A and B are shown apart, each in its own frame.
Chain A
Amino acid sequence: MALIELRGVSKIYHLGGEEIRALDNVDLDINPGEFISIIGPSGSGKSTLMHILGCLDSPSKGSIKLDGMEIGSASARELARIRNQKIGFVFQFFNLLPKLNVLQNVELPMVYAGCSSRERRERAMDALRLVEMDNRAKHRPMQLSGGQQQRAAIARALVNSPKIVFADEPTGNLDSHTGETILKLFHDLSLKGSTIALVTHDPEIAAVTPRKIEIRDGKISKNVDAKLSGQHDGPKFAVGSQQN
């Protein structure tokens, strides 16, 4: 059974009488353990799709099933709980809270989950170790480089062991070298079993993932799974896994 099932999903905005179809009748399945990229030019509807997949936004038409649950009938409270428990977000601008240190930022999803402070601390440190940021736990985001901030943000996305992680242009604000280390991190996480969806406009980045979904004017124009067609021979990273 697919982790996520979109059926006939459209998102329509009305701007001054004009109708904008940000998403137009999209069908999409994502299976557990997949590492996919959603690729398309700017304004094609990638972020809109990701927001709907991530239960941040609701479609104008169509249905979404996440982990067997129909999202359309969920209350705001249930959606918040789903975002908290089943979904992790990584953003282009990192979106760490500047007043909190790295550890507190990573603990935040568990605060809303209602974990004890002891459990929060332990699991946050585990997640930071996973992204090799445990030695920066007491730093403020402003004291870190972009790559380090994005690692902290990834730790935050992973800390509640979500079913799927969405990353919207996660390397868009990083230099190419740092961007590659972040991609390598996602790749490693994927090998450890995480389900990850990367949103990008850059074909080079999309080349890292076995499955690519191309989107154009709100419609899925290509859906290529290299594993199924046997063409994918794995990504080639120029950087080692210990660098950042």
Chain B
Amino acid sequence: MSVLVYIEHTNGIIKKNALEAASYAVAYAEKTNGSALGVTIGNVSESEIKKLGNVGLEKVFNVGGHDYLNHQKVAAIMADVAQKNNSTTYIFSGSSEGKGAGPRLAVKMGAGIVSEVIEVPSSTSPITLVKKAFSGKGYANIQLNHEKNVIVLSTNAFGVHEKSVDVHIENISSEGNDTSLTHQSFDRDTKGISLPDAELVVSAGRGLKGAENWGMIEELAETLGAATACSKPVSDIGWRGHHEHVGQTGIAISPNLYIAIGISGAIQHLAGVSSSKTIVVINIDPEAPFFKAADYGIIGDAFEVVPKLNAAIKAIKG
């Protein structure tokens, strides 16, 4: 029985969430006495694929061609590779590609599917897994009753675990000829850090009083190498784009560090960010509910504290 893991890349560079998925697949295979097999699609160099050896992945199928990919094509190619290799478990990152391809692959393979998974199975007969539910307000222990299963991970929950092996690469071809969606154009922000897989996030709320005040937020984010986020009202008013809205009805994130500036900490906001590993709150109101969910807090005016914090971090980064 093999565990197939889909390895995402951006323009040939393997994504961090793909290293996490590979790491998970290796641990899952160990737990279930199987082997882990990776799949890359498109133009990825051999030296780049070899990086998967750092997380213990011993074999990777490199599917050539496919300059343009979408979730429907990924699912078709994964199904083809899965059938040829008798794979019964299929791992995806919780990215837009993974969340798109996973459900389609499940249907193609007659498999079950669980998403937002945070751990390897606690038991293997039957497979029992923990997933996030209620937007981070709870966890569910799920029992899988299928022979075959798709597992979609919660980003940054399992983590990347180093383990050095040699990678064997096999170049293969697979059609994936799903043409029912016609691509017109992409509009991607290539300079900023993408929020869903960012390790550090600087986020601000209505306490900033206006779009014109985001300069200091962007500067702090740049100093840290962090992505920027915002509360819902901020994106509703149009101070920031919708793609930055985090929370129960926005994007759920779990970075290593979440800095919340001028955000009160409403339950819907907390739902989407409370699984961040470390939370820092900067708020002028000592009674702001966010302090109850924080690890570190500064009670003060953001317009004074944020520039100081930026300078202090710059100082240590040299």
Pair from one complex: no
Q: Which A residues form the contact surface with B (CB < 8 A)?
A: none
